[in-house]
Structure 1
């Protein structure tokens, strides 16, 4: 069996709308390593897009799932509930930022979590409008892609978006948009397009994922919270990609000193198994009527078991602190290459949610070709990388936080070699 042969079959069998970054077909994986069907080994700096923060097939996750498999696999929680669903909700209510009483609902995907957060916000406020940000990514469902602040490839060709969604420029100083610029547009939005008294919620990623790994400036998050409070608008933190130790905290909002009213999460919560959640103020979470939230597979017994194991692993293995150490090593290595790789425009990211952005040398013009060349050549050397950003000129780094030290060192050497070679060939 070969990657090429499977790729041909894939092209014939699967919608082209399901894009793929590589034509590497996985056979098995362990922690931060993947082996393809041809037996070649790769170091995984994607982690299923921040899903396996605890590594592929962490022994404690696998043990928890196997134990659950021996008990039952599905009852639908709305029909016959189960205790570990309650336990995981209790644990999230305790650890999600905010010194207030909380409640939780489980669903299956990050997009579902976002959709339900909007439903909850609308039900709780009796308002309909939502304000999101350019560069944001909130999913591929209709509300998710409407909230997403990037047209290609997420919105192109799908017709009219959902009503009552507005976008404000995300503050990125590197691209000429400061905190006051964004706040100024928000003020004009409230004067020209939508009455703030009709806005149910702001939704924001503490660190933009697909948008380029730009952090929300602390001053902006503080002001956004103040504006929300002034107009009785809810603040939704989309922690789908930033959650579960990735940024050096269990949740990225812990870096800000302000809290969200509702928090969405998925990805890292399940350690490789599908589960998502919304956790928020109890009175808001109780606003929808009975039966207004949920889903057939929402909070599946398998995902719940994995989620409880993931929380144990993060605490027992000190993964928040480890994320800080790994991210510091990665950024230090990248910083040492600035002189040799003039395409490097910025190195950033909290904890182990890091990125390097490339421009044409000596300019502010984004250089997506260079980013893609780095990705392709790193893959040829056995290192899986992902690009992102509105301009496609950013490489993001999302290796499992459990990555072995020797494997991490090997990956850094491959990355440095690749960057140096691509810079020479440019």
Structure 2
């Protein structure tokens, strides 16, 4: 740990553990201690560490070709785009690498669509976003963040964004005007503490954007691909956005894979040379992504997240009467737990759980987040929840 901190920029403050290997929902550190991973790489490891199907797909592709750039076609690209579009009920895919790249791509897409299709005057396009959002850490994205840590000392920022309170449909309606090209939202705000919007909010945003000719962009980078018990979190309100922004779990915890998925009308606005990525849609990424899509088509992982999620939330809510927990939020195998501030900060609580063999991540104040791999067993989940109860009520 000391060596890593000596030679890496201090942009992270990791928990004091050095992971050496992982399998399923468990990891082992360099000293041989095992920990149950209740974070799953912020949903990037939905299918667990070292998933045999995904590792096999990656190994097979490694022996063939790993990168061509988009200067040439390769034999995994067409299938990946077609199958991802089908999973989303859409027509076109623009593959990238990281979640932030995908969000930046969605922003560019919305602006170009606004100018070319909607007819917004050049340079006037606006995108409405929600307070407490987390869409990445590029300069443009942090410019419309309301988190002081994300924004401080990184300006000047890109104009063209309007921030409204999350879950406030009236504020959203007031903000959408003739120059608005898109509304960009997380169906559930992960970094903010797994905040679920009020019932009907997403459906209301869908109605509003459809009525006013505005794109609804759903950032499902953390919430999508099985995490909440459905393939997409928007499905809980029967909502289909105009644009999906995907990442994290799409790469199976093996390689970074992200994508923007939409209709031909929307993504068809691009022309060669206007946007791209050297590594976006590379053969290795597509091979792993294809296996992820095959696993999701079975519905097994969505069903596991739904059933185990009910169990998770039931046991977490049972902590509220003890006084150790003040609130529990989330859906599926995803929970934000507000721990009583009297017990310490989220960081301090995470360190105590680490000592007991649990890996979790704190967020603002005394809130911790739980997002175990979807392959976790009920026995392991119960073991984790028992450790959590013992730690918080000691």
Separation (CA, whole Å) in 1 of partners of 2:294 and 2:208: 37
* The one of 169, 172, 177 aligned to 1:183: 169
Q: CA RMSD in A?
A: 1.7
Are residues 301 and 210 of structure 1, via their aligned partners in 2, closer, same or farther at CA, if it must alter by over 3 Å?
A: same
Question: Which residue in the other structure is 2:81 paired with?
Answer: 89
**Residues 42, 371 of structure 2: 8 Å contact kept:** yes
- CA drift of 1:317 comes to 6.8
Question: Which residue in the other structure is 2:362 paired with?
Answer: 387
- CA drift of 1:262 comes to 0.7
- CA drift of 1:217 comes to 2.5
Q: Secondary structure at the match of 1:112?
A: helix
**Residues 202, 234 of structure 2: 8 Å contact kept:** no
Tell me the TM-score normalized by structure 1. Answer: 0.86
* The one of 255, 259, 263 aligned to 2:244: 263
Matches within 5 A, 1:26-425: 26-76=19-69, 78-96=70-88, 98=89, 101-126=90-115, 127=120, 128-152=125-149, 154-171=150-167, 182-189=168-175, 196-272=177-253, 273-316=255-298, 318-340=300-322, 342-360=323-341, 369-388=344-363, 391-421=364-394
Separation (CA, whole Å) in 1 of partners of 2:225 and 2:173: 33
Q: Which stretch shifts more, 376-385 or 308-317?
A: 308-317
Separation (CA, whole Å) in 2 of partners of 1:314 and 1:261: 21
- CA drift of 1:187 comes to 4.6
- Runs of 4+ aligned structure 1 residues displaced above 4 Å come to none
Q: Secondary structure at the match of 2:151?
A: coil
- CA drift of 1:288 comes to 1.6
Tell me the TM-score normalized by structure 2. Answer: 0.93
- CA drift of 1:347 comes to 1.4
* The one of 5, 11, 17 aligned to 1:11: 5
Question: Could you list the per-position Cα deviations for residues 368-398 of structure 1 after superposition, in whole angstroms to 9, with x for gaps in the alignment?
Answer: x34333211100111001122xx43321111
Separation (CA, whole Å) in 2 of partners of 1:224 and 1:188: 12
Separation (CA, whole Å) in 2 of partners of 1:269 and 1:64: 14
Structure 1 gap segments, 5+ residues each: 1-6, 172-181, 191-195, 362-366, 422-426
Q: Secondary structure at the match of 1:347?
A: strand
**Residues 88, 308 of structure 1: 8 Å contact kept:** yes
- CA drift of 1:83 comes to 2.6
Q: How many residues get paired?
A: 385
- CA drift of 1:314 comes to 2.9
- CA drift of 1:291 comes to 2.2
Structure 2 gap segments, 5+ residues each: none
Q: Secondary structure at the match of 1:167?
A: strand
Separation (CA, whole Å) in 2 of partners of 1:265 and 1:335: 30
- CA drift of 1:54 comes to 0.4
Are residues 125 and 351 of structure 1, via their aligned partners in 2, closer, same or farther at CA, if it must alter by over 3 Å?
A: same
Separation (CA, whole Å) in 1 of partners of 2:162 and 2:305: 34
Separation (CA, whole Å) in 2 of partners of 1:204 and 1:270: 22
Question: Which residue in the other structure is 1:179 paired with?
Answer: none
